[in-house]
Every structure is written in structure tokens, then in C-alpha cells.
Amino acid sequence: MSSLKVIILVILSGITTGMGAFIGSALGAVSEEVIAISLSFAAGAMLYVVTGELIPEANKLYKGRISALGNVLGFLIGIIAVRI
């Protein structure tokens, strides 16, 4: 892939991020329920990416229990952080 194509793709992804932030800011002023719903969708998308892409890739790269241990510790730390 050429450097110019990479730069164009990075700029396009940055534009969509900015547009999403603007829309989120506008909708966030509506109510706290809208914010809660938006955050739940974002959390679901992140869990999808992590479980579908990152965990299998880590297992393939490290071929051992360390990646599974890291995943379990990450979930436990996340639960503890939410409880505090």
C-alpha cells in the first residue's frame, strides 16, 4: 500500500471520529439516558472487537496460558474498578 493511500485513510478515519464526537456531544446534551445507551453500545462494540479479534490473536502469538491469564486478570481488574 502506498504512503499516500495510508495517509488518506488515516485522515478519513480521523474525520469520522470528529464527526462522531460532534454528534455525541449534541446527543449527550439531550439526557443522561441517551448517554447511558450510547456508552452501552460502545462497550458492546469493544467487547466484540476484543473477543473476536484480540484474544484469538494473542493466543495464536503467545501459544500459552499467559494470554489467557492476562485476559482473566483484565476482567477481574475491570470488575474491581467498577465496584470501587
pLDDT (tens digit per residue) in 15-68: 988 888 888 788 777 788 888 888 888 888 888 888 788 788 888 888 777 877
Residue 36 shares a structural domain with residue 77: yes
What is the per-residue pLDDT for 66?
82
Q: How far apart are CA 22 and CA 27, in angstroms?
A: 9
The stretches of 1-84 forming alpha helices (DSSP H) are 3-28, 32-49, 55-62, 65-83
Say if residue 77 is in the same domain as residue 64: yes
Q: Are residues 2 and 18 in the same domain?
A: yes
d(CA 58, CA 71): 10
- What domain range includes position 63? 32-84
If pLDDT is split at 50, 70 and 90, which confidence band does 81 have? very high
Q: How many domains does the chain have?
A: 2
Residues 38 and 70 in one domain: yes
pTM of the model: 0.52
Residue 76 pLDDT: 92
Residues 26, 11: one domain? yes
Backbone angles phi and psi of 63, in degrees to 5: 45, 45
Q: How does residue 77 score in pLDDT terms, banded at 50, 70 and 90? A: very high
Is residue 82 domain-shared with residue 43, that is, in the same domain?
Answer: yes
Instruction: Mark whether 8 and 42 lie in a shared domain.
Output: no
- How far is residue 41's CA from residue 37's CA, in Å, rounded to a whole number? 6
